[in-house]
Amino acid sequence: NGRNLVSYFCHESDTQQRVVAAQLLMLSALQDALQRNEFFLEYQPIRDLRHERTVALEALIRWRKADGTVVPPDQFIPVAEQSRLIVFIGRWVIEQVCRDLPRLQAAGMPDIQVHVNMAAPEFLDDDLPRELMAIVGAAGIAPSRICLELTEGVIMRRIDKTLPIMRELVRLGFEISLDDFGMGYSSLSLLKTLPISSIKIDRVFLQGVPHDRDDCAIVRTIIDLGLNMRLRVIAEGVESATQLGFLRQFDCTQVQGYLSGRPVVLASLLAAAQENRPK
């Protein structure tokens, strides 16, 4: 009956409308958040296993709402990615990192590098290299202090556009890391083409180490592949000493995870650096 059919579709589009309405609400809330400066960064250490020290930090965004609740990035970045807003959030992140870096350097981490996550819409913008240069230049920071983390999904969506932008960024001195390695398209020829200096093994694979044979095989193979291509290999989500032992055994370059340190705000990093300084 034609009528029933019509009412069914009406119902469908009703739910769809509700989803769209919720996203619009979230988008306008995020816009306000940016204006009110409600975003903040936490930094998680990336530890080098050859030099036995923290060589880099990953900047991770959070949103502190007016009522004090803290919203994790998984709950708002995907929505922001649906619009240009992500570009403005991304610029805010880089600018904040550039404000924080000199303080970290002054606190006894002169050669620390900061990893910054980048979403697809940011990376499809031809202006990105110029804008990044303007931001680091104004802050007096060398581009080599910044490592941009990109997922395969981001790169592959428009490889024709992203590859020239990546090459330009590397020419300017920025580093690029391939994030969530193993989760996406993972074309091996892609790995050969990309101007990257490191790959990050996604933490879903680490979760199976050491009890899951397949996960162990995957992690070992990614480490081997990366090292053979002269890339640094960073393991994400390292939570136990057993996992760390496994990674050491197979010569993984760097580790990141709760074992070596949770993400913390700048003030905590600075306080810790103060404490570790020779008196």
For position 122 contacting Ca ion by CB under 5 A, the verdict is no
Nearest distance in Å: CB 5, ligand C2E: 41
Return the number of the residue (108 or 203) whose C-beta is nearest ligand C2E: 203
Nearest distance in Å: CB 76, ligand C2E: 9
Question: Tell me, what DSSP letter sits at residue 187?
Answer: -
Nearest distance in Å: CB 77, ligand C2E: 5
Return the number of the residue (167 or 203) whose C-beta is nearest ligand C2E: 203
**Residue 61's binding partner out of Ca ion, ligand C2E, none, with CB under 5 to 8 Å set by partner kind:** ligand C2E
For position 149 contacting Ca ion by CB under 5 A, the verdict is yes
**Residue 73's binding partner out of Ca ion, ligand C2E, none, with CB under 5 to 8 Å set by partner kind:** ligand C2E
Nearest distance in Å: CB 7, ligand C2E: 40
| Alpha carbons 200 and 250: distance in angstroms, whole number | 15
Nearest distance in Å: CB 274, ligand C2E: 24
Residue 52 CB: number of other CB atoms within 10 A?
Answer: 7
Interhelix angle for 2-35 vs 85-106, to 10°? 30
Provide φ and ψ at 147, rounded to 5°: -115, 125
For position 44 contacting Ca ion by CB under 5 A, the verdict is no
SS (H, E, C) 51-98: CCEEEEEEEEEEEECCCCCEECHHHCHHHHCCCCHHHHHHHHHHHHHH
Contact pick of 202, 231, 255, 256 for Ca ion (by CB under 5 A): 202
Nearest distance in Å: CB 97, ligand C2E: 9
**Residue 261's binding partner out of Ca ion, ligand C2E, none, with CB under 5 to 8 Å set by partner kind:** none
- With CB under 5 A as the rule, give the number of residues binding Ca ion: 5
For residue 142, what are its two tokens?
Answer: 């060398």
146-151 vs 175-181, strand pairing mode: parallel
For residue 22, what are its two tokens?
Answer: 């919720």
**Residues at the contact surface with ligand C2E, assessed by CB under 6 A:** 44, 60-61, 72-74, 77, 93, 117-119, 179-180, 203, 236-239, 256-258, 263
3-state secondary structure of 261: coil
For position 117 contacting Ca ion by CB under 5 A, the verdict is yes
The neighbouring-strand residues paired with 234 are 200, 254
| Alpha carbons 95 and 139: distance in angstroms, whole number | 9
For residue 17, what are its two tokens?
Answer: 């409308």
User: What does the binding site for Ca ion look like in residue numbers (CB under 5 A)?
Assistant: 117, 149, 179-180, 202
